[in-house]
Structure 1
Amino acid sequence: MARTVKAIQIEQHGGPEVLKLVDVELAPPAPDEVTVRQHAVGLNFIDIYYRTGLYPHPLPHGLGNEGAGVVQAVGSAVRHLKVGDRVAYAQSPLGAYAEARNVPASVLVKLPKGIGFDDAAAMMLKGLTVQYLFRQTYRLQGGETILFHAAAGGVGLIACQWAKALGVKLIGTVSSPEKAELAMKNGAWKTIDYSRENIVERVMELTKGKKVPVVYDGVGKDTWESSLDCIEPRGLMVSFGNASGPVTGVNVGILSQKGSLYLTRPTLGTHVNTPEKLKSASDELFDLVLKKKIKIAISQRYPLAQAGQAQAELAARKTTGATVLTLD
């Protein structure tokens, strides 16, 4: 039988003010779904892209792809989950900003003991992003020196820790001395404060002119040129986000001019596109968290009703680490 739950929805694109807390009808789960009573929801830049219309989706719609909670009902075709299981997900259809929702069973993983709902909601998308970047897109072996933009952000702080665990020297870009200190505390080898320092010059200094084999760039438009100038010949530019706006109007000839560079624009969905791959990537992430090699830094918590404020502060770069919306 259907029931009513609270959820955030938007009816038009725009600023944080378009987010509305409304009552929505929650139907029983379809055969391949489970109903999850959510305890925490992850906040990510992609949520803002959907709110503004940068990533188009038919209106009206919910927001959010990441959350954690407890299974309340199980569809008839689902075999690997049962009522009462603690679960988390990072790649659901839109609609995570809700008290409860139906989620495809194929995107859910069971949470091990020792990992709480807040940490799970904060780590799934960001942690799995670092997993595919470091272990699949360009498989780090240990010993490399790499450049990672926005090292004090939610993805960045996990990247700093994961790089250290792998024996990789991560140079992280940051926008303030406070963020530089935070990145260093989380395992960055060196930081570059781009508000005061020239990124390319510092990378040349730190690598003794060699540059780096790979740059991981989730910032986009503002860092595109400098990223290319930091990569050694035949190195890889990994453009995985658009925090400053999308990279557009690129002449691919620039890749030859900068040293026969490779360029990829990867997404989590194509790297972790089966339940088996999802479990494997999640297991690697959970293992590092349980071994305390990665600690999830949740610096901001907001109730669901304040999702608009949470997004505004994320967009204004007033946040560090991860932000979660809480439903307890």
Structure 2
Amino acid sequence: MARAIRVSKTGGPEVMEYVEVEVGDPGPGEVRIRHAAVGLNFIDVYFRNGLYPQPLPNGLGQEAAGTIEALGEGVTGLKVGDRVAYAGRPNGAYAEERVMPAEILVRLPDSISFDTAAAMMLQGMTVQYLLRQTYPVQAGDTILLHAAAGGIGLIACQWARALGATVIGTVSSDEKGALAARHGCTHVINTKTENFVERVKEITGGKGVPVVYDAVGKDTFIGSLDCLRPRGMMVSFGSASGPVTPFGVSELASRGSLFLTRPSLGNYTATREDLDACAADLFAMVESGKLSIEINQRYALKDVGQAHADLEARKTTGSTILVP
């Protein structure tokens, strides 16, 4: 038996139950993995509160790192004892052990710890596809990044700086602004005291930016469109403040033939080749020292309710891990 988090209904942090589960043996194409560290991400909140539906009862969590304990029939390229990490569905990472598809696992370099891997796989690979594929950031670009002091934000600030871009980042406090600045954010905007649209126009001399990366959602969406230059790209990849209010597509034309995309990690890592390339790029950035993964919160797995409450209250910065 192993301990895991299960939900039988949607709702607040209180619906997560810390229970004993039977793990069992892996079937064809599966492995059994013992987790050393588990990542916490806002997408977990969406599944918990029902914004993203899933069959219930079920587990939560899409990111972890650990050691393979058993292989199912037909699994190749992996062996018992391998250090591995992953990010993606199916849910169930909030557990001491689990059986899962081998196809989403990547082998972890010896130079990267379990804690670092669990803190960066989902967020780091998200930043990789956002900055290198969705809109390939070039040296000299000035970009707008919301929630610049969050887990994705701190990684994106560093990666964009390494690419030679200038980052305008929004935060919700001066303390978070200082943190973002230390990680490569050139212009920090505190949305509690400043109008981010006005500040972006001021910083860019009225031209706007070529791309906005927005994981906040409802509260920032229209303002973000107003920050784009003609033919700029709006990248909406999260809904921390709630889903974007429906709008007419003519809003894009009236602001200068804008582009809008709603990307997800699963679509950018759908093939083995794409997954390996995305993870390899992330690992290389970390090993080069250009990316430092900031783990600012650690919670015991049994205390995941408090972790979710703190995440939703925007009390966290950088990355957060759960310790089984």
Q: Deviations over 1:161-195 (max 9, x none)?
A: 00011011111000111111000100111111111
Equivalent residue of 1:55, what SS?
A: coil
CA contact (8 A) 1:41 1:326 kept: yes
Q: In structure 1, give the amino acid aligned to 2:165.
A: V
Unaligned runs of 5+ in 2: none
Q: Which residue of 1 aligns with 2:209?
A: 212
| Residue 158 (structure 1) aligns with | 155
Compute the displacement of 1:140 (Å): 1.1
> Distance between the aligned counterparts of 1:92 and 1:69, measured in 2?
16
SS in structure 1 of the partner of residue 170 of structure 2: strand
Deviations 1:114-137 (A, max 9, x none): 100111000000000000100110
Question: Cα distance, 1:87 vs. partner?
Answer: 0.2
CA RMSD of aligned residues (A): 0.7
Distance 1:207 1:249 in 2: 28
Q: Which residue is equivalent to 1:301? A: 298
TM superposition shift of 1:67: 0.4
So what's the TM-score if we normalise by structure 1?
0.98
Q: Is the 8 A contact 1:220 1:242 kept in 2?
A: yes
CA contact (8 A) 1:106 1:274 kept: no
> Following TM superposition, by how much is the alpha carbon of 1:249 offset from its aligned partner in structure 2, in angstroms?
1.6
Within the candidate set 230, 239, 244, 1:242 is matched to 239
Q: Contact 1:92–1:103 (CA<8 Å) still a contact in 2? A: no
SS in 2 for 1:61: coil
1:10-52 superposed Cα distances (whole Å, 9 cap, x missing partner): 1111111111011111121111011110000000001111111
Q: Distance in 2 between matches of 1:103 and 1:60?
A: 17
1:15 corresponds in structure 2 to 12
Which aligned segments of 4 or more residues in structure 1 are displaced greater than 4 angstroms? none
Which piece of structure 1 moves more, 244-253 or 292-301? Answer: 244-253
Of the three residues 101, 110, 123, the one matched with 2:98 is: 101
Q: Distance in 1 between matches of 2:224 and 2:246?
A: 16
TM-score normalised to structure 2 length: 0.99
What is residue 182 of structure 1 aligned with on the other side?
Answer: 179
Number of residues of Structure 1 aligned to a counterpart in Structure 2: 324
What is the 5 A alignment of 1:1-328? Answer: 4-327=1-324
**% identical aligned pairs:** 60
Give 1:92 shift. 3.1
What do residues 67-109 of structure 1 show as CA deviations (whole Å, max 9, x unaligned)?
0000000111111100000000001301100000012111000
Q: Which amino acid aligns with 1:150?
A: A
How far the C-alpha of 1:141 sits from its partner, in A, is 2.0
| Letter of the 2:18 counterpart | L
Letter paired with 1:248: T
